[in-house]
Amino acid sequence: MGTAVIGLVINVLSFVAIVAIALFVHSYGKKQLTQQAMNDLTISTKDNDHYLFKKFRGQNPIELNAIAESDKEDNDKTTWSIVYFLNQYESLCSGVLRHLYHESMVKAHRESTILHTYDSFKPFIDDWRTRRASDPTAWTALEAVAKRWRQAP
């Protein structure tokens, strides 16, 4: 009887150790994935961020008529640069909402940028959703994360 109890205790401790190791590995992997996603965002938005910042310096929110004027000059490049830029942030925020990324890491490194991006392009987002009936949920993850972080800083 004593040997069976010792065997059971060893099995339980082994199981607990395996679970602890698995949780550690999962958490480490999630942190690595989060860091990679933020690095990818920086690389993929760099050119558009610079282009849009130069074009709309000092406008917050960015006015729809300024976007329309810019589109006349550059054959809709501005609109598609904004769409691409917002899609990149949408992807990161979608990962946050689906718990693929550590929200605390993203918030610590990108909170002000995500809030500024959402605030700056809110008129554009609303207009896009209204004008494009096939895309009424565009950038909802970005919106959800921005609103959640604003409510609970």
Question: Full-prediction pTM beyond 0.75?
Answer: yes
Residues 106, 38 contacting (CB under 8 angstroms):
yes
Q: pLDDT by residue (tens digit) across 90-141?
A: 999 999 999 999 999 999 999 999 999 999 999 999 999 988 777 888 999 9
The model's pLDDT over 33-81, given as tens digits with 9 standing for 90+, comes to: 888 888 888 888 888 888 888 888 888 899 999 999 998 988 888 999 9
Transcribe 21-79 into DSSP letters.
HHHHHHHHHHHHHHHHHHHHHHHHHHHHHHHHHHHTTT-SSPPHHHHHHHHHHHTTHHH
